[in-house]
A and B are shown apart, each in its own frame.
Chain A
Amino acid sequence: MSHSAEGPSAFAVGTTGRVTADVAAVRYPSTAAAVTGTLDAVFDALPPDVAREVPLLVLADAYSRWAAARFARRCDEVGRQVRPSDSTGLETAELVRRFGRARGWLGPCFLVARVDSAHGLRLARAMAARGPVVMCQVSPLDLDSLTDPGCVVTAAVVTAADDWDPALLDSGLPEMSGARP
């Protein structure tokens, strides 16, 4: 996890792709592990009583589109029946369900699309008026994948007083994009 006097109090990057020297990222074996590990890193920086109920805003535009497109392709596959795991795998919430359950996290969660990092950060800062909010962006790497698309995950603690650059949430995307898990 990286810290900066000018940046968020807690910030982490995880990926299933290539890790370069330009970004302090942790590499994970799967998208689920990357989301869980990256959120854990940021939640660990909060006091336990705050972390237990902190709101989480997840920017998941590309992921929700990928999950829906993957499901549609599964439906269209000749000779293969759609399975219950395809139905549950359609849901973007599966990105964070296991993390939340394992951690005992009970905070409100909002999985949003059609929102870029700058817009998302404005929303998170406004919603942080009564306490910190964790913001997370999940960017899938292989949009054609029928299994795990791989990802770059960034997460940060957001407070109402923050003024850091939302581009931080896009850290690692240029370097890691195109790398398959």
Chain B
Amino acid sequence: MTRTVVTGVGVVTPFGRGVGALWAGLCEGRTALGEPDRFRADCRRGEPVGEVPWTVPGVPPKQAYLGAALAEALSAAGLPGVPPDALFVMVGQAPASGRGDDDLADFLGPPVPPDLDARTVYLTHACASGAFGLAFARRAILAGLVDTAVVAGGTALNRYEYVSMSAVRAVSATKARPLDRSRTGISLGEGGGAVVLEREDHARARGAAADLAVAGASCRVGSGNAAASDAAVIEDCVRAALADAGAERLDYVHAHATGTPQGDREELAALDAVATALGLADLPVDSHKGATGHLLHVSCLVAVAATAVALRTGTASGTPNLTDPEPSARLRLSGVPTPLPADVPTTAAVTSFGFGGNNATLVLTRDP
């Protein structure tokens, strides 16, 4: 059976550049949410946000975050650039229009790097776009269309997406507290993400790391509600992804868990049901969104980055800002790092959901 492996990951988050900065922030239980220096939209009413602590003069933030994340992912994969025959999958709301003010430029796009224009596919699946993009790239590799695919995106704080989330009363007045009993909503963040996927034998032939696979995926649009989460739909989505992977165990979940009362409740109910079905009594479940905020279309790329390190280090990072976890008999909800199985093959699920009934789960496996 052909496998699709992750050979490179890159992120930009409110902790700064790189997977290392993200991982350190998560494991230290820090939050980068706070008062922004640059984001000045009048629709924000003092709520904390996750702002990236640097800019590139003359480059729109979204484009800068995409570029930095892509550079890190390619470097980690040992590639000098996106290979000429690779598929480039961009994720976001809609392709860049090339016109409009700065807010519109940060809402759409970002622009595709010119050398990648002809082989770019743009996927739009709300806050689950990164997960759908990875599932699409994996399918393209398994179909023999390409040996390598790069999935990438950027998101910058902007008035339009802030208004969109405010309109559905999703934004919390205080720092997001995913999985916590006192949670009141999301905090928005910004950044970028990129993941290099390759066919396993292709990666091994050039000496790239091939220990981490995207072994299964479930990405559906037709089974959910327009906005509200649904435990039964989520449970079915997770189980379908595990079945697609042929997974016989589940060691870790990096949850979508944005910090909304309804969304987290339904996701926890779904994960509890999955744990019950698998006979698990202590399944670690983390979320990064209390640390970085919700990076919307690229949030799953950040989740994959955190999950990759978790599996490789045998450590669940814990969920920053989590101090009073929802009670659960089967799920391990922790604000501090806890151990994962080490030196054995491990399996993780990454969940990702969005408006418009977008529901996705990726299954990552690692063979040490």
Seen from chain A, the residues whose Cβ lies within 8 Å of a Cβ on chain B are 55-56, 60-61, 64-65, 67-69, 71-72, 75, 81-84, 86-88, 90-94, 96-97, 99-101, 103, 105-115, 123, 126-127, 129-130
Asked whether A126 and B218 contact (CB < 8 A) given A64-B93, A72-B107, A90-B164, the answer is no
Q: Please, could you name 24 A-B residue pairs with CB atoms under 8 Å apart, sorted by A?
A: A55-B139, A61-B95, A64-B93, A64-B94, A69-B97, A72-B100, A75-B160, A82-B164, A87-B355, A91-B354, A91-B358, A92-B356, A93-B355, A93-B356, A96-B221, A97-B221, A101-B223, A108-B219, A110-B132, A113-B123, A115-B121, A123-B140, A126-B140, A127-B143
Complex contact A71–B164 (CB within 8 A): yes
B residues 67-104 touching A (CB-CB < 8 Å): 90, 93-95, 97, 100, 104
Residues of B within 8 A of A87 (CB): 164-165, 167-168, 227, 355
B residues 203-218 touching A (CB-CB < 8 Å): 217-218
Given contacts A64-B94, A108-B218, 18 further A-B contacts (CB under 8 A): A61-B95, A64-B124, A65-B97, A67-B94, A71-B164, A87-B165, A88-B355, A93-B358, A97-B224, A100-B223, A101-B222, A106-B236, A109-B132, A110-B123, A110-B135, A110-B219, A113-B94, A115-B121
Residues of A within 8 A of B224 (CB): 97, 101
Residues of A within 8 A of B357 (CB): 93-94, 97, 100-101
Asked whether A127 and B125 contact (CB < 8 A) given A88-B226, A88-B227, A91-B355, the answer is no
Docked Cα-Cα span, A88 to B165, in Å, equals 10
Residues of B within 8 A of A75 (CB): 159-160, 163
Main secondary structure of the interface of A (DSSP, over half): helix
B232, CB-defined interface residue at 8 Å? no
Complex contact A106–B93 (CB within 8 A): no
Docked Cα-Cα span, A115 to B118, in Å, equals 9
Residues of A within 8 A of B240 (CB): 106
Across the A-B interface, the 8 shortest Cβ-Cβ residue pairs = A100-B222, A93-B356, A91-B356, A97-B357, A68-B94, A109-B221, A126-B145, A113-B122
Asked whether A86 and B222 contact (CB < 8 A) given A91-B355, A110-B132, A112-B123, the answer is no
Q: How far, in Å, is B119 (CB) from chain A's closest CB? A: 9
Docked Cα-Cα span, A154 to B100, in Å, equals 31
Q: How far, in Å, is B139 (CB) from chain A's closest CB? A: 6
Across the two chains, which residue of chain A brings its CB closest to B169?
A84
Which of B124, B132, B136, B224 has the most chain A CB atoms closer than 10 A to its own CB?
Answer: B124
Residues of B within 8 A of A94 (CB): 226, 356-357
Residues of A within 8 A of B226 (CB): 88, 94, 97
Q: Mark B153-196, 1 if CB is under 8 A from A, else 0.
A: 00000011001111110000000000000000000000000000
Name the one of B107, B121, B227 contacting A68, with C-beta atoms under 8 angstroms. Answer: B107
Complex contact B221–A100 (CB within 8 A): yes
Asked whether A64 and B143 contact (CB < 8 A) given A86-B167, A97-B356, the answer is no
Complex contact A68–B93 (CB within 8 A): yes
B6, CB-defined interface residue at 8 Å? no
Asked whether A106 and B132 contact (CB < 8 A) given A91-B356, A93-B358, the answer is no
Complex contact B223–A93 (CB within 8 A): no
Name the one of A69, A109, A112, A129 contacting B122, with C-beta atoms under 8 angstroms. Answer: A112
